[in-house]
Amino acid sequence: MTEFVQKQSKLRTTQLTSNDNKSFSIGTTLMVDDWYERLRLNDIIGRHKSKGIALDALVRGMLVDQLGDNFSVLQASEWMNRKEILEHYGIRAFNSKTLYRAVETLGRNRERIIRELQDNVLELLGRPKTDVLLDWTSIVYYGDMAKLAKYGYSRDHHPGERQLTLGAAELHRPTTFPSVSRSRQGTSTTRLT
């Protein structure tokens, strides 16, 4: 039986050669497109921008990028400006500022977007609609042991302190989903929740 088992005797990674191939997260892209449609996010998000590149396409692309790599908005913009991605979403090349403005638009309309998304999720799950309470706060952290504490944005224009961001969510009756709490790194700007 052991005569058929062969052990790897050397690494073969030295045989790899660099090329210009680009990756395209087609599985993640199709999953985002599917859930975007199921949750009717085009109705929720699309109405918040009427000129230029459709907000829906920008948000779909950002979701795919963030689920795959979770880097910065700038890097998401660079990824989305590749020919294959632009073709998939039917949009033209754009400046990274366009994506930053899209994030700002989502942030300005977050309460309505979250409420409508929640209603669609509960409807999809066959659950009655209910209220949700969301609360995020940043606190100053003076120690040096908390890994999440980072120097961050200060609304009082005193950025010299380390911060922690804490959040909690609660769904009210008749839904019986548990409450959620979360800690994040200190804020660098106002966060979209």
Q: What digits encode the pLDDT tens for the residues 31-75?
A: 999 999 999 999 999 888 888 899 999 999 999 988 887 778 888
CB 137, CB 185: distance < 8 Å: no
Structure tokens at 148: 């999440």
What is the per-residue pLDDT across 163-187, written as a single tens digit (0 to 9) for each?
Answer: 777 777 776 666 655 455 555 555 5
* Pairwise CA distance, residues 188 & 37, whole Å: 32
Continuous segment of H or E residues that includes residue 82: none
CA separation, residue 150 to residues 104, 154, 160, 189 (Å): 22, 12, 10, 12
Q: What is the pTM of this model?
A: 0.59
